[in-house]
Amino acid sequence: MNVLLLICLLLAAGLVAWASERIRPNLPNWVALTTFVLATLWVVFAWLSGPHEGGLYAEQFYSWIPRFGINVILKVDGLSLMLIGLTMLLGAVAVVSSWTETTTRRGFFQFNILWVMAGVVGVFSAFDLFLFFFFWEVMLIPMYFLIAIWGHEDRSYASMKFFLFTQISGLLMLVAIVALVWIHYSTHGVLSFDYHTLLGAELDDSVARLLMLGFFVAFITKLPSVPLHTWLPDAHTQAPTAGSVILAGILLKTGAYGIVRFVVTLFPEASRDFWIYGMALGVASILYGGFMAYSQSDFKRLVAYSSIAHMGFVLVGVYSFNDLGMQGAIVTMIAHGFSTAALFMMAGALQERLHTREMSKMGGLWVKAPRMGAVTMFFVIASVGMPGLGNFIGEFLVLLGAFQKNVFLTICAAIGIVVAAVYGLSLMQRSFQGTPNPDVPEMRDFAFREMSAMIVLMVALVWLGVYPQHVLSMTDAILPMLGVAP
């Protein structure tokens, strides 16, 4: 599997999709969908054919700017492959979900989606810090366009907020990257942005802590964790459905991935000393996110806050520094990708039908659209953490891992499960159950197109919940690399 080829494919497909709008307005959708389905199959094929020596599924090296030690180093290990697979699958789902929603400038719309995805794939596979930062920015700007052009009523505020938060935190990371490279250069005399070279950088404790914080802040902004989360509810709420799906399903994962791949490994000592803060932030996210989710009356906003709570589990898991927590964090990332993406699709479908996201204007929708009700119920239950579905596996493993580290914080995190039940069921009650709202017009139920996307996600969640071993064994091998004892 050649990752660069995959990225180029996505970039090229973006251009083709943009151009194809002139032939027929619906053609960009087909181009994007085909690309994502093919890419998904490609990833699945790579997965089935197994890793090469050294546990890598792909490895590419191209010289880029040799003078500064910047190269195109792309590697795909189990974690990366899984996240890339998730990305491609959710890409297809996002395209399906916005099939009829977007009516203006579809070509440019799909172009942006494809380019975001290209950036994300790059982020998940770049093993050169400069390249990583490059892709980090590549995925940011099309996303900004997606929100700013096709968003809802408050889009300019939301997109600007999104942009500023991620950009400023990204700059912090850039500073940290450059400083790290410089320090490595001044001690070893080798100017290199290569991840594996930089792993050997010898840093003072205080310096390492500062640099680690630079990365950490960038990633928890993206994750996001309390208190840097406030861009997310606005961005999610205002983004078009596909944008929300991508944001929640994938872009948040880049933050988590960054922590796992870079913060923990590049600064092992500093991160280990930092565990209590990381974990506490995670717990704060869980509780505060859940609490805020309950207080929302906007369907999408509620789901957005619930994402914060779920990503808190990731943070807790990573900072438990053991195999259970780490694996739990990874499974949570994947499962959250599926469940929340589906809920955002549901919010989008409701908005398309009812032209509102306000739950006080819904109520009793089950009567009108039983399929949508059942599907929503499924995903609400999944995100509440029902055993047998993916989210539970992740959250339980996280709790199990965290419990070894700190009992008190684990208890607080476990309370988050109760809060999840409170907001999840309140979402269900306010939108689909209760007295049917007489003001709600007749709405059509899910048809084949939407249902098939949902079924894919449902099957994925059940699979993850009943047999998570596929995912667990893929990341098992790389746990030592992530600084976690197996």
Partner 1 sequence: MEMLWLVPALPLAGFLVLFVTEGKLPKIAVACIGAGCVGFSAVVAAVVGWEYLTSGTDAYSQVMWTWMAVGEFKVEATLYFDYLALVMVGVITGVGFLIHLYATGYMWEEEGYSRFFAYMNLFVFAMLLLVLGDSLLLLFLGWEGVGLCSYLLIGFFHKDPANGYAARKAFVITRVGDTALILGLLLLFREVGTLGIQESLETARSIWPDGSLMNTAIALLLLGGAVGKSAQVPLQTWLPDAMAGPTPVSALIHAATMVTAGVYLIARMQGIYLLSEHAMLCVAFVGLATLFIASFTALVQSDIKRVLAFSTMSQIGYMFLALGVGAWSAAIFHLMTHAFFKALLFLASGSVILSLHHEQDMHKMGGLWRKLPIPFWSMVVGSIALAALPFTSGFVSKDAILLTAADAPELGMVFWGGAIAAAFMTSLYTTRMMVLTFFGETKMEPHDPSKANMWLPLLVLAALSLGGGWFGFTVLDSLFHDHGVHFGLHLDNPIAIATMCIPLLGLVAGYLIFYANVFDRKGIAESGVGKAVGRFWFVGWGFDKIYDSLVVNPFRWLARVNKGDFVDLLFRFTALVARILNNLFSISQNGRLRWYALTMFGGLLLAIVFVAII
Q: Which residues bind partner 1 (CB under 8 A)?
A: 161, 226-227, 229-230, 233, 288, 291-292, 294-297, 322-324, 327, 364, 366-367, 370-371, 374, 377, 381, 386-388, 392-393, 396-397, 399-400, 403-404, 410-411, 414-415, 417-418, 421-422, 425-426, 429, 432-436, 466-469, 472, 476, 486
* Residues 6 or more apart in contact with residue 94 via CB below 8 angstroms: 113, 241, 242, 245, 246, 249, 341
Which structure tokens are listed for 398?
């996280």
Pair 195, 128: CB distance under 8 Å: yes
Nearer to partner 1, 179 or 425 (CB): 425
Q: Least Å distance between CB 43 and partner 1?
A: 23
Angle, to 10 degrees, between the axis of helix 129-150 and the axis of helix 155-188? 170
Which residue, 200 or 227, is less far from partner 1 as judged by CB? Answer: 227
CB of 220 to partner 1, least distance (A): 13
Could you tell me which residues are beta bridge partners of residue 75?
A: 59
Full DSSP string of 180-247? HHHHHHHHH-----BHHHHTT----HHHHHHHHHHHHHHHHHHTT-TTS-THHHHHHHHS-HHHHHHI
What CA–CA distance (Å, rounded) separates 379 from 265? 34
Cis link prior to 227 (omega < 30° from 0)?
yes
Which alpha helices (H) appear in 319-369, and where do they start and end?
A: 323-354, 365-368
Find the distance separating the first CA and the last CA of the chain, reported in whole Å.
Answer: 28
Task: Tell me how far, at minimum, the Cβ of 386 lies from partner 1, in Å.
Answer: 6
Instruction: Please give the Cα distance from 249 to 12 (Å, whole number).
Output: 23
For the CB of residue 8, give the shortest distance to partner 1 in the complex, in Å: 36
Distance, CA of 383 to CA of 461 (rounded, Å): 10
CB nearer partner 1, residue 79 or residue 208: 79
Which CB atom, from 127 or from 163, has the smaller least distance to partner 1? 163
Residue 436: CB minimum distance to partner 1, A: 7
At its nearest, how many Å lie between partner 1 and the CB of residue 90? Answer: 23
User: Which is nearer to partner 1, 129 or 458 (by Cβ)?
Assistant: 458
Between 288 and 344, whose beta carbon lies closer to partner 1? Answer: 288
Helix (H/G/I), strand (E/B), else coil: 60: strand
> Which residues have a Cβ under 8 Å from the Cβ of 14 and sit 6 or more positions away?
110, 111, 112, 113, 114, 115, 118
- C-beta separation of 136 from 176 below 8 A: no
Least distance from C-beta 116 to partner 1, angstroms? 24
CB nearer to partner 1: pick between 122 and 424? 424
CB 457 → partner 1: shortest distance, Å? 16
Q: Which is nearer to partner 1, 8 or 466 (CB)?
A: 466
Whole-angstrom CA distances from 468 to 28, 148, 388, 395, 463 are: 35, 38, 10, 13, 7
Q: Work out how close the CB of 5 gets to partner 1 at its nearest, in angstroms, rounded to a whole number.
A: 34
C-beta separation of 329 from 318 below 8 A: yes
Contact 325, 402 (CB under 8 A): yes
Comparing CB distances to partner 1, the nearer of 243 and 468 is 468
Least Å from the CB of residue 422 to partner 1: 6
Q: Which is nearer to partner 1, 203 or 417 (CB)?
A: 417
